[in-house]
Structure 1
């Protein structure tokens, strides 16, 4: 099995990185460089491609050997450093530690590889800490940054990396991946890929979690029923509640497993008394989990807004006489009714309001207030 097999819909990017991992070809002489930036829309597979490239660089084979693939998947390879955050921003201390580790010589591979997921979550001061490492990197260290777009990073960082741009994979490609990799039946795989708008991670979740599908459908059906201000206010509160439930379902099991793993590493039996000297470490873990939970709610609200955009996109296309590529086929009757009640101009206004709500929520405006304003503007 090749490390590249699960990278779907990105043939040009795979060809470029595969050639770089192989040391370049006659046509691509000098294609390898010390720093890369993988950009693309959410769900396009930025992180998946970054770790596939890492596995190829850390292996003797450009397709990656089985042991290296397993170690990279577990983030346990001795020459791999992964900087990941589920908080709002990447901490400067975490970047400093990652930079320090980047100067270690490889222990078993040709390279030391550093993957920075969500590099766009760095504040300017934090980015400048990373910049120093990119300016004078060790010859055996390769940095792989991931971000939605080049403009999300400082110009000084963009000038020191080689960019690889990804595109949104097709629904058919994502459905085929869910079918072959995860064993999802074709009908469910197609529905999940379509509703997720080709977002690979969200498609997998929708395909494997019936409650996630039910929460999504409840959200859109409720949005179709908003016809006055009081309904908009109630709906905003319910959407935030749904986002919180979604976040808990996604992170709850992981948080509990993480706590149990930390307790075992500290020598504390399940259900046992935690010695006072160890309680500070657990408080740090709980603080990290609270920050992750906050980010989870924000991400959940953003997913809801993305789903609402798909709904109003379907309404607009219906108003314009196009129903051949409807995303939310299961809600077609409600979409047609909403299209008949409004105009394309009003629908476009609502879609602009949804984009505005996303910007406000990302800018730390209270999600309930941002959603209330958006829903009120959507009243037909």
Structure 2
């Protein structure tokens, strides 16, 4: 076993990262005296850009690479170094992610300051940015300066869906070595679910076949009854749009399911954070300085409430987007079946329904419905209220 076993269905990428980690182990720095100087050139470089579709394992691959760079045995997955990197507690591996809608310059400045320091316990100071596509323009400019003139012991690992300028600025991309991941094949996903997660072979095979190549989604579908029920409810929408009343009921159901997921995922956490903040700010105290402490507490409460609202908004969007992707997959299968193309279905367990829909409706109708779903996704990204965007979409789905 090694850290590379966590990177599913990416043999070419793993081979490239292994070679870089082996090269990095022999790099000599300016303070080491004789030997190969610097971390640039050859198989190793100071900035990497991991790209790939959702579920391809961008951050998993980046984290495995970070462990291999720090581990004396290039990623044995058994030593203290590998375990602390995997747990996110290694002193010289710093991860940046966001639960909100964007990564601002304020969040990045702390990481940039760390990037300028020497590592404390390991050979490298590693900065892993999971959501590089969510950086604001100011945050991107700040990161660019750090990537342009890095400390010789600093390595930047950026993760984004693609190399498109909408995801990563051209200037940052030009200074990074690209590593492109692909959608894992179904057999690789099923194998990892069965062997690593202990899921029975039949369930693992089914989850792998309907997850759209997203390993995390496959794991949730295999383990979580609620995730399976939400998928069933979404895929029931095309058959439940016979009247105007059913159209609005379907819209309410999609938005309501997203709200329920927000409550389930963030409700208890929000309350715990508020209680923790109150205790840390001396709630219930008395005596000198209480008034000043209360003013500071109110400011901290407002900041926490803002963070929680942003987190809830992103959770809601992600939940709705998963539903829309499932719906798009359904109509994609209908369109493909209408053309008689021999390609893998997105929802193979809905083959009979898809066959019936392809027989009853035209290919043009399926295409228009796909376009309505894509328009809804774009509307949600531009802050259109979910209820309005979803109602417009299901109305278009009924019209065909």
Q: Same fold (TM over 0.5)?
A: yes
Aligned twin of 2:238: 223
Q: Please state whether the residue corresponding to 1:192 is helix, strand or coil.
A: helix
CA shift at 1:341, angstroms? Answer: 2.2
CA shift at 1:105, angstroms? Answer: 0.6
Q: Please state whether the residue corresponding to 1:326 is helix, strand or coil.
A: coil
Partners of 1:99 and 1:43 in 2: CA distance: 28
**Residues 147-171 of structure 1, C-alpha deviation per residue, up to 9 Å, x if partnerless?**
0001111111111111000100011
Counterpart check, 1:106 vs 2:125: no
Worse-matched range after superposition: 96-105 or 309-318: 309-318
Paired residue total: 375
Counterpart check, 1:135 vs 2:154: no
Q: Does the CA contact (< 8 Å) of 1:224 and 1:334 recur in 2?
A: no
What's the RMSD between the two structures over aligned residues?
Answer: 2.6
Q: Does the CA contact (< 8 Å) of 1:3 and 1:63 recur in 2?
A: yes
Counterpart check, 1:334 vs 2:353: yes
Worse-matched range after superposition: 322-331 or 116-125: 322-331
Equivalent runs, 1:112-261 vs 2, <5 Å: 112-151=125-164, 152-252=167-267, 254-255=269-270
> Which residue, 100, 108, 117 being the options, matches 1:87?
100
Partners of 2:5 and 2:273 in 1: CA distance: 30
Partners of 1:114 and 1:229 in 2: CA distance: 52
Partners of 1:330 and 1:126 in 2: CA distance: 44
Aligned twin of 2:45: 33
CA shift at 1:253, angstroms? Answer: 5.3
Aligned twin of 1:63: 75
CA shift at 1:261, angstroms? Answer: 6.9
> Which residue, 283, 297, 308 being the options, matches 2:327?
308
Between Structure 1 and Structure 2, whose CA radius of gyration is higher? 2
Q: CA separation of 1:274/1:225 partners in 2, compared to 1, >3 Å: closer, same or farther?
A: farther
Q: Please state whether the residue corresponding to 1:378 is helix, strand or coil.
A: helix
**Residues 163-210 of structure 1, C-alpha deviation per residue, up to 9 Å, x if partnerless?**
000100011111111111111111111222222111011111111111
Length-normalised TM-score, structure 2: 0.86
Worse-matched range after superposition: 55-64 or 136-145: 55-64
Aligned twin of 2:58: 46
Partners of 1:261 and 1:18 in 2: CA distance: 43
Partners of 1:318 and 1:261 in 2: CA distance: 54
Q: Please state whether the residue corresponding to 1:163 is helix, strand or coil.
A: strand
Q: CA separation of 1:248/1:231 partners in 2, compared to 1, >3 Å: closer, same or farther?
A: same
Q: Please state whether the residue corresponding to 1:23 is helix, strand or coil.
A: helix
Q: CA separation of 1:170/1:257 partners in 2, compared to 1, >3 Å: closer, same or farther?
A: farther
Structure 1, unpaired ranges of 5+: none
Q: CA separation of 1:267/1:175 partners in 2, compared to 1, >3 Å: closer, same or farther?
A: farther
CA shift at 1:29, angstroms? Answer: 6.6
Worse-matched range after superposition: 116-125 or 224-233: 224-233
